[in-house]
């Protein structure tokens, strides 16, 4: 028996003493998909144009060597990253990651065939795919897209949204796993506007047209993502929390909660139960905000654990779709994927190892002493031993072994890219 297995055996007994079945927790964890974000691997450049630069308030800092320069390199890097992450995975694509050969394709002309290589790759690996229309970093995205007062500009982006949903449907059919197609737009005002209502009426009309075509939810689910403010939209974001939450409720689409898109004192963990009281499902974009929406790599923070606890305590695993959304060009990009994804999975395991039924019973009976005492004692339970065993049992590196693999891949592959 290895040291990892020995440690797990002891941890298993410890958790059993409080009524927690670690084996059941590990089996449950394997069924919860985590959607990696493809744009971490190439600094959100995409494959439309080699000279594409981010705009609409987005920026990637750092110039760590080895950025993926094309779809084959990006898929190669994702393959390696996923091999270091235990459990069920998906991959989230943006429309700008299309493959059209030598023929330029504008956003309104995106078609399923431009993603056939991604679909074939995902099908071979057994991964699901999520999708995002790309409303930023385009000559027609400044300053408005779906809320533009220019009818031609608005029509262009409506057509892009319609086309993107069809791509999402295609990806769902090809992989046999539901695709979540998430709509985020950068529209807003830098300075105080006079007519917020007019802009939001235009956005509503555009969304109605984008979502008019009925698509089987087995293949594609639609989501809308809000934001508090952005660079260039400091005074007013058209797609605000109130706007999109209302729209999602009325139109039966998913609402996307991004952990960096709210005021720093607002907690996503607190919003989940409120929203899921009235909505069937939500979509998560998990990142780490430092001085607001900076999309840092996900770390094992208290809030990440609270988000996972809210999902597990209330049996929301079938109602919350979990996706990552960060991009850091200052560190090894595969390491960023591995750190962020493993931490998301760790948080879910931490939650699965909580004796929630016991704690809920104590709370319901007004025994807040037991509730507080148990929550604090659980912090020092041997959770790490269970995580190491989960990695071992699922063929993923244990502890910092994954970092050794990243360093070898960097020397053998990334360092040779110019």
Residue 50 near residue 96 (C-beta atoms within 8 A)? no
Query: Span 201-220, mean pLDDT?
Result: 98
What are residue 282's phi and psi, to 5 degrees?
A: -135, 165
What pLDDT is attached to residue 50?
64
Instruction: Name all domains of the chain by residue range, CATH numbers in brackets.
Output: 33-354 (3.20.20.150)
pLDDT band at 418 (very low <50, low <70, confident <90, very high): confident
Helix, strand, or coil here: 350?
helix
Alpha-carbon gap, residue 324 to 301, rounded angstroms: 15
pTM: 0.97
Q: How are beta strands 220-225 and 236-237 bridged, if at all? A: unpaired
Q: What is the mean pLDDT of the chain?
A: 96
pLDDT, one tens digit per residue, over 254-295 is 999 999 999 989 999 999 999 999 999 999 999 999 988 899
418 vs 107, more confident:
107
What is the four-CA torsion angle of 248, 274, 228, 348, rounded to 10 degrees? Answer: -100
Average pLDDT over residues 193-205: 98
**Average pLDDT over every residue of 373-392:** 98
Catalytic residues: 184, 225, 227, 258, 261, 285, 293, 295, 325
Alpha helices in 285-329 (DSSP H): 302-313
pLDDT tens figures, 224-265: 999 999 989 999 999 999 999 999 999 999 999 999 999 989
Query: How far, CA to CA in Å, does 256 sit from each of 240, 286, 293, 320, 400?
Result: 11, 10, 15, 10, 33
């Amino acid at each position: 028996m290895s040291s990892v297995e020995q440690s797990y055996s002891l941890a298993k007994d410890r958790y059993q003493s409080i009524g927690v079945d670690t084996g059941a927790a590990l089996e449950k964890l394997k069924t919860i998909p985590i959607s990696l974000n493809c744009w971490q691997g190439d600094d959100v450049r995409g494959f439309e144009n080699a000279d594409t630069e981010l705009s609409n308030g987005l920026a990637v800092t750092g110039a760590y060597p080895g950025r993926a320069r094309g779809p084959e390199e990006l898929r190669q890097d994702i393959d390696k990253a996923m091999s270091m992450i235990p459990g069920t995975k998906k991959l989230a694509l943006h429309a700008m990651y299309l493959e059209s050969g030598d023929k330029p394709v504008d956003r309104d002309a995106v078609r399923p065939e431009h993603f056939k290589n991604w679909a074939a790759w995902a099908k071979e690996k057994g991964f699901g795919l999520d999708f995002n229309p790309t409303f930023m970093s385009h000559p027609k995205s400044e300053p408005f897209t779906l809320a533009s007062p220019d009818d031609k500009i608005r029509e262009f982006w409506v057509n892009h949204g319609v086309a993107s949903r069809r791509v999402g449907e295609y990806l769902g059919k090809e992989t046999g796993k539901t695709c979540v197609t998430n709509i985020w737009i950068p529209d807003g005002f830098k300075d105080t506007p006079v007519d917020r209502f007019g802009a939001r009426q235009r956005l509503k009309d555009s969304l109605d047209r984008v979502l008019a075509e009925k698509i089987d939810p087995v293949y594609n689910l639609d989501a809308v993502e809000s934001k508090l403010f952005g660079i260039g939209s400091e005074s007013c974001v058209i797609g605000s929390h109130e706007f999109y939450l209302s729209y999602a409720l009325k139109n039966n689409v998913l609402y996307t909660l991004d952990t960096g898109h709210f005021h720093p004192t607002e907690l996503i963990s607190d919003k989940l139960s409120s929203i899921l009281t009235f909505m069937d499902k939500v979509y998560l974009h998990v990142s780490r905000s430092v001085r607001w929406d900076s999309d840092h790599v996900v770390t094992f923070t208290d809030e990440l654990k609270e988000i996972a606890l809210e999902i597990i305590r209330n049996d929301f695993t079938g109602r919350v779709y979990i996706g990552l959304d960060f991009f850091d060009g200052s560190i090894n990009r595969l390491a960023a994927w591995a750190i962020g994804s493993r931490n998301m999975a760790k948080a879910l395991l931490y939650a699965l190892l909580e004796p929630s039924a016991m704690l809920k019973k104590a709370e319901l009976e007004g025994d807040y002493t037991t509730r507080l005492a148990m929550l604090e004692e659980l912090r020092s339970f041997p959770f790490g031993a269970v995580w190491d065993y989960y990695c071992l049992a699922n063929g993923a590196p244990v502890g910092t072994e994954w970092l050794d693999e990243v360093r070898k891949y960097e020397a053998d592959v990334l360092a040779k890219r110019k």
